[in-house]
Structure 1
Amino acid sequence: MESQVVIKDELKEEKIWRLIIKYSVPAILAMMITSLYNTVDRAFIGSMKDIGALAISGLGVTMPILTILGAFCVGLAVGGSTNIAIKLGEGNKEEAEKSLGNTIAIELLVGIVMMIISVFYLEDILYFFGASNDTIKYSMDYMSVIMCGAWFNLPGFAMNSVIRAEGNPKLASNMMIIGCLLNLILDPIFIFGFNMGIKGAAVGTVICQLVICLWSGYYFTFGKSNLKLKLKNIRIESKIIKGIVVIALTPFCMELASGFIHLITNKVLKLYGGDLAIGAMTAITSINLLFMMPVYGISQGMQTIIAYNYGAKQFDRSKKALSIGILGAIGILSFGLISILLFPKQFISIFTKDARLMELALNGISIYSLTLPAIGICILGTVYFQSIGSAKKSIVLSLLRQVIVFIPLILLVPKYFGLNGVWAAQPLADIVSMIIIGLFLIKEFKDCKL
């Protein structure tokens, strides 16, 4: 109780910039480790001799499926951990343990179903998502292994989320960081040491997912967890599952929308630039993500600060937290833009040495990254409305940049400007979204009389 009072006083009285640093830095570090893992994973694949360009293009084709897998993974994990946190807040440990068992059960069931579907239809699905006769082998090699691990990847991710919900975020973060570092070690061993190619990258990833699953399972059975995973609770109870699914719908739909965007983007890229354009986009988005990850860390850190002070009617502190967050985000992303414009070849060469793919990516990144600083306002402005409980606004604004504005642009602009239009669709969507979100924020501040 005393620690809770200290935290509340801190959120109410401590200087906002200090709070932003304290709450954001751990999240930024975790995000950067995850981003580094994704970057190095793709860099190893792209550097494979003679086949790297097609291999990374094949990896790009798998993104819609990976996003759909992530939608179930993240959505159900959020639904389960939120329900568990509520039950723990009510002091109902028994119901919390039932929710834990049901979360594991539904994630396990979904993982098995997706694995079975992939056994029979994976090739057809990959062709639908943009694979060609040249890239299908690499897409199949990667996804066939990844889908075989779905039955333990999903429950493992869910248990890791519950570890946070029961009050041990440090352990949960350490598990993810160690898993990512282990993957960085295993990737070159399987890709080059065992000469497994892109399949080796998938094997390394799946092994790390298994380690996290086993580690989390051990924690909830033999470890020092508050909740215990009991065999009798690993079942489907309609009442509990309903509560999980209701909360899971929003993050699930967001992830699913992202997968839909990947699908459309791949098809447009293939139409105007062929297989290598998909590979170029994979490299470009990976580079941009390196600079965007700290912004997502800032968003996580400022969320608690804004929510608490808004609830306490200290609107000025909420506004200040957003302002400092946006300034920090613009600073990081401006540094990213300058770095990309000054050293584009060095960044692209991380992922490929293929001359044609390099040419496509160099042209694309110079256009695609132009509005990088504007993304900070888009991300943090949306998080502000989420933090103050404006659910409808936050959902609409979160869909604005990547769905509502982006889809019409990526379907229309390339008709007039070809492949350059594909690269330009995202920055155009960023500008439009930044203006709209900015207007929403101005109206909100006026209504609160800040």
Structure 2
Amino acid sequence: MVGKNKLETEKISTLLIEFSVPAMIGMFVNAVYNIVDRIFIGNTPGLGSLGLAAASITYPITLVMIAFGLMVGVGGSTRFSISLGRKETEKAQHYLGNGVALAIIMGLSFTILGNIFIEPILRNIGASEAVLPYATDYLSIILYGAVFQCLAMCMNNFSRADGNPRISMISMLIGAGFNIVFDYILIVRLGWGMKGAAYATIGGQFLSVIWQLAYFTGNRSNVRLVLGNMKLKLTYVREILTTGIPAFLLQIANSALNFIINASLVVYGGDVAISVAGIVTSAVTLIIMSISGLTQGLQPIVSYNTGADRIDRVKQALKLASIAGFIITTTGFLVIQLFPEFVVRLFNQEPEVVALGIKAIRIWTIAFPLVGLQIVWSNYFQAIGEVRLASFLNLARQLVFLVPLILILSSIFGLYGIYAAVPLADLLAFLVSFFFIRKRFPKSKILI
């Protein structure tokens, strides 16, 4: 197996670049799916701030779909990598097949249940009467593409674990490229509004899936997708889901967080505040997705070498990834703090939105340089199979600390209390993650 030998013998810095850079590029571009939609929506007459609010309202639902796709993708690919490290190729084949089957089942469930209950769901997550028609138009179509979204998320993780990170990158580039081009065609040229944005998104996801299926059923993959291995077996399903729980909880926490933020913003700022939150989270997501790509590239290196009992290589990979994560989020912090108006105006030109957006995005990202370290460290524990600790650390930033802080500070300071809660939660989550990483490596310098 070419992939397994490389992961055990290649220089760590070379491996991290080879695996993480394509994943980072791919995840960055993948973030463009949602963000390009918002840019076109926010700058299109007839949509504007109401369209942006609709995209923000529906975002928690999208995150739930991503959560299930990542649970089987990250969980399955982690077990897949560990199996390859232990030279258990047959097990790796079953993890791949069962992971793909689970992604299909989850996607179909979203399509059916989501469209049956779409209106009560949207009302319960904060859609006003003005926003509801826009949100319904968008989400109903996105739900029909849920299978493609879950499959693309799942298989992108497996192709990286198979030793071919470029396949995953190209998959996401194909999807995002289609989305950008057809956003312009369907929204601007044909005037399809929110429906056009949704069709462009699911079209890109469909092409990503076709690309991945061609890879795993062809001769280029090290481990092939075989129909017989897609028959679900309880042992593999349980290990995939339990290992993927931290990634799942992180996205679910993000979804719950967006719901809580939107509910609080409705009370303290209305639809304009929700539009601003959509802008801020879109800008931050671009950077977070890059860190996510970094950790996805790190995962097969850490998982394989853990399975091969090469702890020296694991520590080296973690240290390099920590440095890279800190640099990425610090760079993002500087861009946002120095050019906040430029960032906000990319999404919307309305004076009320721009004025509030500049203040919000600066407060939101005060502690942002620490976020890269926290995400890398928490994902390390997932890569070595320590599910409970990884779950706690993944939840710490977005749920354990942030939700109580939002509720407390908003009751005292109103709208700006919501914004101030974010950097405080980032700081607390960083300190907790640092405690556990230092406990694991008391004599090693993992950046600090």
TM-score interval for Structure 1 and Structure 2 normalised by the shorter chain: 0.7 to 0.9
Cα gap change, 1:337 to 1:302, in 2 (>3 Å): same
Structure 1 vs Structure 2 CA RMSD: 3.3
Structure 1 residues 61-102: Cα deviation after superposition (integer angstroms, max 9, x where no partner): 011111111122221233444555566665555x76565554
2:270 is the counterpart of 1:274: yes
Displacement of 1:302 after TM fit?
A: 4.9
Residue correspondences, number: 443
Displacement of 1:248 after TM fit?
A: 3.6
- Amino acid of the residue matched to residue 417 of structure 1? F
Cα gap change, 1:329 to 1:280, in 2 (>3 Å): same
Listed as ranges, the gaps of 5+ residues in structure 1 are none
Listed as ranges, the gaps of 5+ residues in structure 2 are none
Cα gap change, 1:126 to 1:374, in 2 (>3 Å): same
C-alpha distance in structure 1 between counterparts of 2:299 and 2:29, whole Å: 21
Identify the range of structure 1 (380-389 vs 256-265) with the bigger mean alpha-carbon deviation: 380-389
Aligned equivalent of 2:416: 420
Displacement of 1:255 after TM fit?
A: 2.2
Equivalent residue for 1:217, pick from 177, 196, 213? 213
Cα gap change, 1:324 to 1:216, in 2 (>3 Å): closer
Contact 1:107 1:158 in 2 (8 A): yes
Displacement of 1:180 after TM fit?
A: 1.1
Aligned equivalent of 2:8: 8
2:58 is the counterpart of 1:62: yes
C-alpha distance in structure 1 between counterparts of 2:154 and 2:385, whole Å: 25
Equivalent residue for 2:134, pick from 138, 143, 166? 138
C-alpha distance in structure 2 between counterparts of 1:77 and 1:59, whole Å: 25
Displacement of 1:149 after TM fit?
A: 1.6
Aligned equivalent of 2:333: 337
Q: Normalized against structure 1, the TM-score is what?
A: 0.86
Displacement of 1:155 after TM fit?
A: 3.5
C-alpha distance in structure 2 between counterparts of 1:269 and 1:358, whole Å: 16
Displacement of 1:186 after TM fit?
A: 1.0
Cα gap change, 1:304 to 1:98, in 2 (>3 Å): closer
SS at match of 1:62: helix
Cα gap change, 1:192 to 1:116, in 2 (>3 Å): same
Cα gap change, 1:279 to 1:217, in 2 (>3 Å): same
Displacement of 1:184 after TM fit?
A: 1.0
- Amino acid of the residue matched to residue 373 of structure 1? P
Cα gap change, 1:181 to 1:111, in 2 (>3 Å): same
Structure 1 residues 263-282: Cα deviation after superposition (integer angstroms, max 9, x where no partner): 11111111111122111111
Cα gap change, 1:243 to 1:442, in 2 (>3 Å): closer
2:388 is the counterpart of 1:375: no
Cα gap change, 1:162 to 1:444, in 2 (>3 Å): closer
Contact 2:26 2:168 in 1 (8 A): no
Displacement of 1:406 after TM fit?
A: 0.8
Displacement of 1:375 after TM fit?
A: 1.4
Cα gap change, 1:205 to 1:37, in 2 (>3 Å): closer
Aligned equivalent of 2:348: 352
Aligned equivalent of 1:178: 174
Cα gap change, 1:385 to 1:277, in 2 (>3 Å): same
- Amino acid of the residue matched to residue 208 of structure 2? I
2:69 is the counterpart of 1:73: yes
- Amino acid of the residue matched to residue 419 of structure 2? W
Cα gap change, 1:321 to 1:83, in 2 (>3 Å): closer
Structure 1 residues 191-237: Cα deviation after superposition (integer angstroms, max 9, x where no partner): 11111011101001111122223333344456655555555665555
Contact 2:27 2:172 in 1 (8 A): no
C-alpha distance in structure 1 between counterparts of 2:389 and 2:240, whole Å: 23
Identify the range of structure 1 (141-150 vs 167-176) with the bigger mean alpha-carbon deviation: 167-176
Aligned equivalent of 1:45: 41
Equivalent residue for 1:364, pick from 360, 365, 373? 360
C-alpha distance in structure 1 between counterparts of 2:79 and 2:299, whole Å: 20
C-alpha distance in structure 1 between counterparts of 2:18 and 2:156, whole Å: 23
Cα gap change, 1:445 to 1:30, in 2 (>3 Å): same
Contact 1:156 1:217 in 2 (8 A): no
C-alpha distance in structure 2 between counterparts of 1:406 and 1:255, whole Å: 14
- Amino acid of the residue matched to residue 128 of structure 1? N
Contact 2:20 2:297 in 1 (8 A): yes
Aligned equivalent of 2:106: 110
Looking at CA atoms only, which structure, 1 or 2, has the larger radius of gyration? Answer: 1
- Amino acid of the residue matched to residue 54 of structure 1? L
Contact 2:396 2:429 in 1 (8 A): yes
The 5 Å alignment of 1:115-134 reads 115-134=111-130
2:24 is the counterpart of 1:28: yes
Structure 1 residues 378-433: Cα deviation after superposition (integer angstroms, max 9, x where no partner): 22332344456654433322221111111110111011100000111111111222
2:385 is the counterpart of 1:406: no
C-alpha distance in structure 2 between counterparts of 1:6 and 1:242, whole Å: 29
Contact 2:7 2:15 in 1 (8 A): no
C-alpha distance in structure 2 between counterparts of 1:121 and 1:249, whole Å: 26
- Amino acid of the residue matched to residue 341 of structure 1? Q
Structure 1 residues 355-393: Cα deviation after superposition (integer angstroms, max 9, x where no partner): 222222112112111111121232233234445665443
Q: Normalized against structure 2, the TM-score is what?
A: 0.86
- Amino acid of the residue matched to residue 382 of structure 1? S
SS at match of 2:442: helix
Cα gap change, 1:131 to 1:404, in 2 (>3 Å): same
Contact 2:157 2:296 in 1 (8 A): no
C-alpha distance in structure 2 between counterparts of 1:32 and 1:236, whole Å: 32
SS at match of 2:346: coil
- Amino acid of the residue matched to residue 8 of structure 1? E
Cα gap change, 1:218 to 1:97, in 2 (>3 Å): same
Aligned equivalent of 1:261: 257
Displacement of 1:179 after TM fit?
A: 1.3
Cα gap change, 1:241 to 1:4, in 2 (>3 Å): closer
Identify the range of structure 1 (183-192 vs 230-239) with the bigger mean alpha-carbon deviation: 230-239
C-alpha distance in structure 2 between counterparts of 1:302 and 1:225, whole Å: 20
Structure 1 residues 231-267: Cα deviation after superposition (integer angstroms, max 9, x where no partner): 5665555455444433343332332222211211111
